[in-house]
Structure 1
Amino acid sequence: MCGLLGFLTPGRVDEALVAAVDAALPCLRHRGPDEHGTWHDADLVFGFNRLSIIDIDSSHQPLRWGPADNPERYALTFNGEIYNYLELRAELATLGAEFRTEGDGEAIVAAYHYWGPDAVRRLRGMFGFAIWDTETRELFLARDPFGIKPMFLATGPGGTAFGSEKKSLLTLLHQLQLTDALDPRALEHYTVLQYVPEPETLHRDIRRLESGHYARLRPGEAPRFTRYFDPQFRVRPFARGTEHARYAEIAAALEDSVAKHMRADVTVGSFLSGGIDSTAIAALAIRHNPNLLTFTSAFERPGYSEADVAAETAAAIGSKHYIRMVSPQEFAAAIPEIVWYLDEPVADPALVPLYFVAQEARKHVKVVLSGEGADELFGGYTIYREPLSLRPFERMPAAGRRLAGRLGAAMPDGRRGKSLLQRGSLSLEERYYGNARSFNDAQLRAVLREFRPDWAQADVTAPIYARSVGWDPVARMQHLDLYTWLRGDILVKADKMTMANSLELRVPFLDPEVFRVAEQIPYEQKITSGRGVAKTTKYALRQALDGIVPPHVLHRAKLGFPVPLRHWLAGDELFEWAQAQIAESQTDHLLDKGAIKGMLDEHRAGRSDHSRRLWTLLVFMVWHGIFVEQRIVPDIKEPVYPVHA
């Protein structure tokens, strides 16, 4: 695990460029406080900050490896973990590979040497890495299938820079001969979706290497991108009498994944909420570490805490449990620091309690497991039930559906049935843009100075939907969320908030072998109709976890990290803070601040709930204040950790 940074330029590496890369490394230090430094040759500079997890005393970066006739042919810098590295090393040894460390980094480079770019298909893990071949003078960049670990890229006349965080590339734009201009299209996408979708960033000249992609480039050339992973939901119906065997297959895949995710030379803990996903991971993890430590965070406001359920679960599985309570004052004070760590704005308030629980966990452990990805793989979001409720509309002729839409539009806001008629009149592609949609077109026109209908969210989703034509609607929604909500929100906040505290987070659900069994599950084994426990999501997963997850959690509804944002923005906790952000932000050329202030006043008066829309805009204003105006200077402190960790 580390924060990596690199600069490729044809024969122009000199002391000044090495110094520039070295000067950019401190803003990555939270990703790897254990070791840091640079390495270079005539065309390439590598910078790194290492968080030592496996083979602590060796596996230093950049890691050099090569065959017997050129043992330092390759240089690797690597962010992430490869969980099947022991199996890969054993297989590669039969091909003649010799290893000088006990770590997972050499497995990556040796796999690349023997199998070429196809090596990425053999890796079970999370990764963003760069391999420099000193013989062919080619750079190979790769990112894991689901996008657990980040990789940013910027290519200009001066070369190509790449790194784990965008803020490190911002300091190198001058050397690249690029500008720090913002991308208005990305801003519109952010405002609607609450995150900036890949491969965009809010800076026009910096992009992301997409999940499931690798890139090859030579000095002076543009990167050549290849998609190596495109998740397909190849449904295999449950034959009569095979249900329990299929459930056992799911449980076995997950248990194997958790076992491999426990591999580390440091203590591994687990996040634990009141839901089934984190509970399943913790319950399986404790089989490998009877002294497992678990962690949760909560707010004191009634209805916004899973602390009691998590504590009951910890007692049931036998873990030592820690709870981090977060006050509204702490919440507000931490926002600038959190946005600085984010790099790109993400308007999901759940990232704040995640930041604080990571802070608590880092006092005790260096690695935690978590349950991200279960909803996308196994059908866990309530919205996935929508196709069941809209089935009657599918039988209507097109004219009937259009009439239903007109009737819904004519009904007063808040009238029961209005939303059903309007959504039923639309196709899946027209109505579902992923798990979050903060603004409709009319609301966008009110707050954005530049609004382009052709930049709408369908601009992001249409190419993804085109790859799932003919699938059942639930599988299509899951597929869309894998490419949008999961990698744009869920995994960004998981990576950024844990790495902000130099804590490695591992997500066993997002494993190729777990996906292999999940992709085959038919929709009726994900979403069921009925009442009570018969009306549920993730049905097959719940059945597979019966006997693993305590009964009080097995059929419990999803809650997540609830945040009392609606109350706080209307009350004394955040109202004045929000007023100040609107007044002080230098974003008048981008946003209609008068309209936003009106939204805040309406929210305060209780006439409308604008909390998520306001939060989306306020987070952007803070981001702009840090990265554009430099009006806000977060108080980023050097981390101090217990020696035993």
Structure 2
Amino acid sequence: MCGLLGVLTAGAQGKQFVSAIEKALPCMRHRGPDEAGSWHDEHAVFGFNRLSIIDLEHSHQPLRWGPEGEPDRYAMTFNGEIYNYIELREELSALGYTFNTSGDGEPIVVGFHHWGAHVVEHLRGMFGIAIWDTKEQRLFLARDQFGIKPLYYATTSAGTAFSSEKKCILEMAEHLGLGLELDRRAIEHYVDLQYVPEPESLHAEIRRLESGCFAFVSPGGKVEQTRYFRPQFRAQKVPAGQEQDLFNRIARALEDSVEKHMRADVTVGSFLSGGIDSTAIATLAKRHNPDLLTFTTGFEREGYSEVDVAAESAAAIGVEHIVKIVSPEEYANAIPKIMWYLDDPVADPSLVPLYFVAQEARKHVKVVLSGEGADELFGGYTIYKEPLSLAPFEMIPSPLRKGLRQLSKVLPEGMKGKSLLERGSMTMEERYYGNARSFNFAQMQRVIPWAKREWDHREVTAPIYAQSGHMDPVARMQHLDLFTWMRGDILVKADKINMAHSLELRVPFLDKVVFEVAESIPHDLKIANNTTKYALRKAMEQIVPPHVLHRKKLGFPVPMRHWLAGDELYGWAQDTISASGTDEIFDKKAVMEMLVEHRQGVSDHSRRLWTVLAFMVWHGIFVEKRIDPGIEQRDYPVYL
């Protein structure tokens, strides 16, 4: 787990960018405080911050490798971990290749030489990769299947910059001739979805290589990406009486994934909430580390903590458990730092407790496992039960359904049945755009009057839905979430917030072998007996403690509704709105009115308010440069 940064110049100007790389690299020293390195030739400049996890004494980056007769042909930097690196090295050694290290990086570049871009299909892990082929004069960029690790890029007349963090590219803007204009389309998408969807960023000239994609770039050329991972959710019918075979396959795949994810030359711990996902991971991890440490977080307010259940789970599986309780004051004080680490805002209040539990975990371990991805792969969100409740509407002729929609619009807000009627009269493409639903269009226009209907969530979701017409309704929702909510929210906070503390987060559910099994589960074994993740729960019956098996999912619940209405955060919110220089983006008077309405109990605006407030803090840091996030790493001396 590390941070990569580089520039492929449009001309033979590599040496001229060395100082720019040296200046920008400390911005992400938190990603790799153990070691730094750089390399350049006439076209390419690579910089790297290393968090040493495997082969601690060797495997330095940027890594040079070449076949016999072509020494040092390739230069590579990569961020992430390859969990099947031992098997890959054995396979490539049998083909006659030699290795100079025992780490997980060298098999990537050797595999690239042997398989070309198809090397990504052989990798089992999380990664952002940059390989410069000095012979072919081509740069190869790639990201893992699910988008666990980030990779930003920007192309100007000076060349193409690429990095694990956007702030490093921003730091080099002057050298690159990079414009810093904000992308209004991306702003509207953020307000609509609570995150900036790939491949966008809030800066118009900086984009992200999409999850499951690779690209080749030549000096002076464009980044042309190719998708190599296309999830299909090919449900396979399970004959009656053979369901247990499927459950056993799930258990074996997850056990194998956890075993591979435990590979490290440092101590590995595990996050532990009150749900089945993290409990399953922690239980399996303990088989490989009897002294496993687990970590959780919560709040003092009743009903907003899983601390007690997590402690019960820790006792049941026999691990030492460490708890961090977060106060409202700590919460508010951490927000500027978190927005700086994120690069673009993510309006998910659970970011803050994650920040503190990661901070606590880093005092004890260097790597943690977590349960992200289980809901998307195995059908864990309650909303996935909606197709069952709305099934009767599917039999109603389209003209009549349109009439029901008009009827739903005239019914009073809060009237029983209004929401069911409204959603039942819509197609899935119209009603479902992921787990984030902050603003409808009318609400959005209240706070950003310039909003355009053609820029709403459907612009993001329509191409994704177009790929899933052959899937069952639950699978279509899962497919959409893989490309929206999971990679836009879940995995962004998993990467950025843990790396803020130089803590590597590993996610065994998001493993290609686990996905191959999850992809085959029929919908009636995902949602069954009025429960979600049915097949996973059955697979884990002999693994997780009984009190967790059928417990409702909570995650890291945050009392945001109460805090914004009460003294804990109301004053902070007022001050944030008043001081913000976002007058050309938001109608600040309307935002302040929403805050007052929320305090008075007129309407629960907490999710919408948090979306706007997070953006305002981000804008104060990156655009106005009015807010100092107080990041010590920014003061580190250049050390290359």
Superposed CA deviations along residues 249-279 of structure 1, whole A, max 9, x for unmatched, are 0000000000000000000000000000000
Aligned-pair distance for 1:12?
3.4
Aligned-pair distance for 1:336?
0.2
Aligned-pair distance for 1:238?
1.0
1:411 pairs with 2:397: no
1:617 aligned partner: 612
Q: Distance in 1 between matches of 2:14 and 2:103?
A: 32
Alignment-mate amino acid for residue 26 of structure 1: P
Aligned-pair distance for 1:176?
2.2
Aligned equivalent of 2:561, options 548, 561, 566? 566
1:325 aligned partner: 325
SS at match of 1:130: strand
Alignment-mate amino acid for residue 361 of structure 1: A
Q: For 1:172-321, what aligned pairs fall within 5 Å after superposition?
A: 172-321=172-321
Aligned-pair distance for 1:602?
0.4
Alignment-mate amino acid for residue 592 of structure 1: D
1:603 aligned partner: 598
SS at match of 2:476: helix
Q: Judging changes above 3 Å, is the alpha-carbon distance between structure 1 residues 227 and 495 closer, same or farther for their aligned structure 2 residues?
A: same
Superposed CA deviations along residues 330-360 of structure 1, whole A, max 9, x for unmatched, are 0000000010000010000001000100000
1:643 aligned partner: none
Q: Distance in 1 between matches of 2:601 and 2:449?
A: 27
Give the TM-score of the pair, scaled to structure 2.
0.98
Superposed CA deviations along residues 217-257 of structure 1, whole A, max 9, x for unmatched, are 11111122110001110010111121111100000000000
- Moved >4 Å (runs of 4+): none
Cα contact 1:570–1:603 (8 A) shared by 2: yes
Superposed CA deviations along residues 76-120 of structure 1, whole A, max 9, x for unmatched, are 101000000000000000111100111010000010000110010
Q: For 1:456-475, what aligned pairs fall within 5 Å after superposition?
A: 456-475=456-475
SS at match of 2:115: helix
Q: Distance in 1 between matches of 2:86 and 2:562?
A: 50
Aligned-pair distance for 1:638?
4.5
1:502 pairs with 2:502: yes
2:637 aligned partner: none
Alignment-mate amino acid for residue 350 of structure 1: S
Aligned-pair distance for 1:589?
0.5
SS at match of 1:560: coil
| Greater mean deviation of Cα atoms: 238-247 or 53-62 | 238-247
Query: Structure 1 unaligned runs (5+)?
Result: 529-533, 640-645
State the superposition RMSD in angstroms: 0.9
Aligned-pair distance for 1:175?
2.2
Q: Distance in 2 between matches of 1:157 and 1:72?
A: 28
Q: Distance in 2 between matches of 1:103 and 1:255?
A: 23
Cα contact 1:184–1:450 (8 A) shared by 2: no
Aligned-pair distance for 1:16?
4.0
Cα contact 2:11–2:220 (8 A) shared by 1: no
Q: Distance in 1 between matches of 2:345 and 2:102?
A: 38
Alignment-mate amino acid for residue 169 of structure 2: L
Q: Distance in 1 between matches of 2:257 and 2:290?
A: 18
2:441 aligned partner: 441
1:540 aligned partner: 535
Cα contact 2:9–2:220 (8 A) shared by 1: yes
Aligned-pair distance for 1:437?
1.3
Aligned-pair distance for 1:370?
0.2
Q: Distance in 2 between matches of 1:78 and 1:213?
A: 15
Alignment-mate amino acid for residue 73 of structure 1: R
Q: Distance in 1 between matches of 2:378 and 2:466?
A: 22
1:488 pairs with 2:483: no
Aligned equivalent of 1:594, options 589, 595, 604? 589
Query: Structure 2 unaligned runs (5+)?
Result: 635-640
1:578 aligned partner: 573
Superposed CA deviations along residues 395-439 of structure 1, whole A, max 9, x for unmatched, are 111122112212211111011100000000000000001111110
Q: Distance in 2 between matches of 1:82 and 1:37?
A: 21
Cα contact 1:449–1:589 (8 A) shared by 2: no
Q: Distance in 2 between matches of 1:308 and 1:97?
A: 52
Aligned-pair distance for 1:14?
5.1
Cα contact 1:13–1:45 (8 A) shared by 2: no
Alignment-mate amino acid for residue 477 of structure 1: M
Cα contact 2:301–2:559 (8 A) shared by 1: yes
1:393 aligned partner: 393
Count of aligned positions: 634
Cα contact 1:22–1:37 (8 A) shared by 2: no
1:636 aligned partner: 631
Q: Distance in 1 between matches of 2:185 and 2:632?
A: 34
Aligned equivalent of 1:554, options 546, 549, 568? 549
Alignment-mate amino acid for residue 491 of structure 2: L
Cα contact 2:15–2:41 (8 A) shared by 1: no
SS at match of 2:484: helix
| Greater mean deviation of Cα atoms: 214-223 or 630-639 | 630-639
Alignment-mate amino acid for residue 362 of structure 1: R
Aligned-pair distance for 1:15?
4.5
Superposed CA deviations along residues 30-60 of structure 1, whole A, max 9, x for unmatched, are 0000011321000010011000000000000
Cα contact 2:411–2:418 (8 A) shared by 1: yes
Alignment-mate amino acid for residue 547 of structure 1: Q
Q: Distance in 2 between matches of 1:242 and 1:111?
A: 39
Q: Distance in 2 between matches of 1:13 and 1:372?
A: 42
2:114 aligned partner: 114
Give the TM-score of the pair, scaled to structure 1.
0.97
Cα contact 2:10–2:160 (8 A) shared by 1: no
| Greater mean deviation of Cα atoms: 5-14 or 265-274 | 5-14
Q: Distance in 2 between matches of 1:431 and 1:219?
A: 44
2:356 aligned partner: 356
Q: Distance in 1 between matches of 2:298 and 2:245?
A: 38
Superposed CA deviations along residues 547-593 of structure 1, whole A, max 9, x for unmatched, are 10100000001011000000000111100100001100000011100
2:638 aligned partner: none
Cα contact 1:6–1:46 (8 A) shared by 2: yes
Alignment-mate amino acid for residue 537 of structure 2: R
SS at match of 1:462: helix
2:30 aligned partner: 30
Alignment-mate amino acid for residue 588 of structure 2: K
Alignment-mate amino acid for residue 423 of structure 1: R
